[in-house]
């Protein structure tokens, strides 16, 4: 049965209009984004296959590539681009609060701003926040994706944007795809190395916050900055 052959009360779009978007299942949301199925599959069938691609379920979409989605029969360029564009839009909405440049009162403020942006990534993303003299966020740079101890997370790459923007201090964040925010020994060593570089440059590292799945740890609060 094709999507347009379903009774009106079973169609995702009609359900959204009738009951609200909060009542939709994840598969129904994906089906609306896909818009149509194929000759042999409904949009709901395709949505189910997408959710079954990885044990992470819908979180898989945070980092998946067009090539991965195209492995599913019926997922052409239009469907793949529409779906990934929606994922990116959601990510930008989640991170748009940082544009408010609210004053940072503590590590929980930072964690709340970035939790939804970072918690679903399948790889580690290392972010440096630029802070002015009165505690406002004036910039955000993604330093590296992958291993935190990679060359991309060296002092030169980390502090160059802070120097250009005349930041008074910086705060680091990175996520743990495992969901456990406990800093590793490597996290601690890298942070202390960067903190020493910041002291030489006159740009202190205020904190390094590790984001997990709905939880975070402040290395400053835990006394791990050194």
Measure CA 9 to chain center: 34
Distance CA 218, CA 226 (A): 13
Instruction: Quote the pLDDT of residue 81.
Output: 95
Distance CA 87, CA 91 (A): 6
pTM above 0.85, yes or no: no
Inter-residue contact 15 to 9 (CB < 8 Å):
yes
Domain-wise residue ranges, the chain:
3-94, 101-218
Instruction: Quote the pLDDT of residue 8.
Output: 47
Q: 10 Å Cβ neighbour count for 151?
A: 9
Instruction: Quote the pLDDT of residue 1.
Output: 43
Dig out the tokens for 170 from the structure.
């910086």
- Listed as ranges, residues in the chain with pLDDT below 50 are 1, 7-9, 98-100
For the chain, the average pLDDT equals: 87
Instruction: Quote the pLDDT of residue 100.
Output: 46
Distance CA 70, CA 76 (A): 6
Inter-residue contact 43 to 68 (CB < 8 Å):
no
Instruction: Quote the pLDDT of residue 103.
Output: 65
Instruction: Quote the pLDDT of residue 201.
Output: 96
Instruction: Quote the pLDDT of residue 119.
Output: 85
Dig out the tokens for 83 from the structure.
């779906």
Dig out the tokens for 24 from the structure.
């939709």
Inter-residue contact 173 to 112 (CB < 8 Å):
no
For the stretch 4-7, contacts whose Cβ atoms lie closer than 8 Å and that sit 24 or more positions apart, written own/partner, are 6/42
Residues in the chain: 226
List the end-to-end C-alpha distance of the chain, in Å, as a whole number.
63
∠ CA 172-141-56, nearest 5°, is: 75
CATH class of the domain defined by 101-218: alpha beta
Q: 10 Å Cβ neighbour count for 203?
A: 20
Q: What is the H or E stretch that residue 90 is in?
A: helix 77-95
> Which whole-number Å values give the CA distances from 76 to 36, 46, 66, in the listed order?
11, 11, 9
Measure CA 7 to chain center: 37
């Amino acid at each position: 049965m094709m999507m347009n052959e379903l009774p009106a009360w079973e169609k995702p779009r009609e359900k959204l209009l009738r009951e609200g978007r909060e009542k939709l299942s994840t598969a129904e949301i994906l089906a609306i984004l896909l818009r149509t199925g194929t000759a042999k599959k409904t949009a709901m069938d395709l949505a189910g296959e997408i959710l079954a691609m990885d044990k992470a379920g819908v979180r898989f979409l945070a980092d998946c590539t067009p090539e991965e989605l195209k492995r599913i029969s019926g997922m052409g360029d239009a469907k793949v681009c529409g779906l990934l564009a929606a994922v990116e839009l959601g990510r930008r909405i989640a991170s748009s609060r940082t544009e408010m440049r609210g004053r940072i009162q503590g590590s929980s403020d930072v964690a709340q701003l970035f939790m939804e942006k970072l918690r679903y990534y399948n790889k580690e993303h290392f972010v440096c926040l630029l802070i002015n003299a009165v505690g406002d966020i004036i910039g955000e740079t993604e330093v590296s994706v992958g291993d935190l101890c990679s060359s991309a997370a060296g002092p030169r790459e980390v502090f160059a944007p802070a120097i250009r923007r005349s930041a008074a201090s910086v705060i680091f964040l990175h996520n743990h795809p495992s969901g456990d925010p406990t800093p590793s020994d490597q996290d601690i060593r890298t942070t202390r190395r960067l903190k020493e570089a910041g002291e030489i440059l006159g740009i202190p590292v205020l904190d390094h916050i590790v984001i997990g799945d709905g939880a975070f740890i402040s290395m400053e609060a835990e006394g791990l900055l050194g």
